Amino acid sequence: MRLLFIGDIFGTAGRRICADRLPALLSERRIDVCIANGENAAGGRGLTGNLVKKLRKYGVQIVTGGNHSFSIPDNAFQFMEQPMVLRPHNYPPGNIGKGVTLFPLPDRRQLGVVNLQGRTFLHESLDCPFRTGLEAVEVLRRQTSCILVDFHAEATSEKAALARFLDGKVSAVIGTHTHVQTADERILEGGTAFITDAGMTGPEDSVIGMRHDQVIRRFLLQTYVPLEPSKKGAMLNAVVIDIDDATGHSRSIERIFERILFSHE
């Protein structure tokens, strides 16, 4: 099966880039399942039920989350109960939503998807992504050997370590969160496709999506400065993964970095 995984969709620009480009991309690349990290889809922080509907309309079938999954304070989080909307699996029990799903394909094939969040430099009190991730993967493997993990994490070392930890047990470990696409895509020894970070789909001329003048002020002044999504530049970052359905091993992983001609107005 062929998967398209779209790096963090950021704000209005990220959503409109998907609306404009996804339908053609899905057919050009003969994609069976489209997965996107959507935790920045609402103005750069968070996700809403309405935006999930829009992303689905553009062709996204599974939406994953991260440290901003619960960021909108007055959000109605019931949309996270939908089977194909995930937030990191290693949040404490009692939170709404889930971090694991099984997506049905034709010919009784299934894709397992696990969403995990890193702890290093991010959210240290979460459950261990290694142990909880492995447990989730072992349960999924009773149903399918085709499994993708979105590991939403800050530290490159944590992402590289989790990929090696799960090598041979899952089809792909795709890093998200930094909004900077890395050039290290590869197939590991055991057949797991890996990239440290898939990147961001949103305004390229920015500091990880936000207006750079405001981010610079925040660094200079060391006080709170409100941040707004940038309205300059546009890019689509993603990876295409080709998985052998019989073994669950990946045959290839290819990076996509497209600059899009786009008007923010």
What is d(CA 96, CA 4) in angstroms, rounded to the nearest whole number?
27
44 near Fe ion, rule: CB under 5 A:
no
Burial class (CB in 10 A: 0-12, 13-18, 19+), 83: exposed
What is d(CA 196, CA 174) in angstroms, rounded to the nearest whole number?
7
What is d(CA 151, CA 172) in angstroms, rounded to the nearest whole number?
10
Which one, 32 or 204, has the nearer CB to Fe ion?
Answer: 204
Cα distances from 60 to residues 4, 106, 156, 186, in angstroms, run: 9, 17, 26, 24
Specify the stretch interacting with Fe ion by CB under 5 A; choose among 48-56, 58-66, 70-78, 189-197: 58-66
**Residue 112 in contact with residue 140, Cβ under 8 Å?**
yes
Q: How far is the CB of 68 from Fe ion (least distance, A)?
A: 6
Which one, 22 or 41, has the nearer CB to Fe ion?
Answer: 41
Which one, 71 or 110, has the nearer CB to Fe ion?
Answer: 71
| Single residue of 14, 41, 61, 67 touching Fe ion by CB under 5 A | 67
Please count the other Cβ atoms lying within 10 Å of the Cβ belonging to residue 30: 10
Q: What angle do CA 77, 83, 86 make, to 5 degrees?
A: 60
Active-site residue, 68 included: yes
177 near Fe ion, rule: CB under 5 A:
yes
Q: How far is the CB of 218 from Fe ion (least distance, A)?
A: 17
Catalytic residue among 68, 89, 179, 249: 68
249 near Fe ion, rule: CB under 5 A:
no
Question: Which contiguous run of DSSP H or E holds residue 112?
Answer: strand 110-117
Which one, 67 or 237, has the nearer CB to Fe ion?
Answer: 67
145 near Fe ion, rule: CB under 5 A:
no
What is d(CA 122, CA 186) in angstroms, rounded to the nearest whole number?
25
66 near Fe ion, rule: CB under 5 A:
yes
Q: How far is the CB of 123 from Fe ion (least distance, A)?
A: 10
Q: How far is the CB of 39 from Fe ion (least distance, A)?
A: 5
Specify the stretch interacting with Fe ion by CB under 5 A; choose among 28-36, 67-75, 123-131, 233-241: 67-75
Window 13-32: residues binding Fe ion (CB under 5 A): none
Q: How far is the CB of 107 from Fe ion (least distance, A)?
A: 35
Copy the structure tokens of residue 74: 């007055």
Copy the structure tokens of residue 145: 């050997």
Contact residues for Fe ion, defined by CB under 5 A: 66-67, 177
The residues that are catalytic are 68
